[in-house]
Structure 1
Amino acid sequence: MALRFLGKDPNSNGGNSPTLYYDDERDTYVFQSWKVLDPERLAQLSLPEHETVIEFPRRMMRFFPEVADVDPRV
């Protein structure tokens, strides 16, 4: 897997996350972010055992190539 760094939350505490990557082999996005652990919120989802849910701030949408009008494969 060849991950390409796209952006990090400028308001991140300690510069750790959330962070957005693009996987050019799978043509998918990979997020490093806060794991959702709140049982009330998780109960509202249909979440299979092999999946997880993360949360990231809306302000990070600007890093999506479709929003920035760039091709992530370049």
Structure 2
Amino acid sequence: MTAYPNPFTLAMRPQCGTPKASEEIMRLRFLVVDPNTQGDDCPAMQVNEETGDLAFVGETITDPDALTQLSASSGIKESETAILIPARMRKLILEALRELEDDPTIP
């Protein structure tokens, strides 16, 4: 697993429209990246250090049939994006989640 101890700050803005007056600032800790990464564009998982929420980076799912199936089971709001995480990352993600459970600094 590739872990990065130094968190970085990411300003969260609305997906469209004007930024809200009270923008939320997330402190994200980079947890794991796809080991087969060949550059900057790579599936990854991060955690919000203040809330414990997870953030994923992956390929956007654009297939209309797949999006219809996803919408039927859980719905997809306009502000949400369905992404694909490679199967080879399952074990890495589970390992990172187990480590988070033991981290007293993450809620």
Classify the TM-score, shorter chain.
0.7 to 0.9
When normalised by structure 2's length, the TM-score is 0.57
Partner of 2:81: 52
Shift of 1:15: 4.5
Does the alignment pair 1:4 with 2:34? no
Partner of 2:93: 63
Shift of 1:9: 0.1
Shift of 1:38: 0.6
Aligned length: 71
Q: Extract unaligned runs of 5+ from structure 2.
A: 1-25
Shift of 1:43: 1.0
Partner of 1:29: 54
Matched position secondary structure for 1:45:
helix
Instruction: Describe the superposition over 1:12-46 as per-residue Cα deviations: whole angstroms up to 9, x where unpaired.
Output: 23252101101111211101110001111101122
Matched position secondary structure for 1:2:
strand
- RMSD after superposition: 1.7
Q: Extract unaligned runs of 5+ from structure 1.
A: none
Partners of 2:40 and 2:27 lie apart in 1 by: 22
Shift of 1:70: 1.5
Give aligned-pair identity as a percent. 35
Does the alignment pair 1:40 with 2:40? no
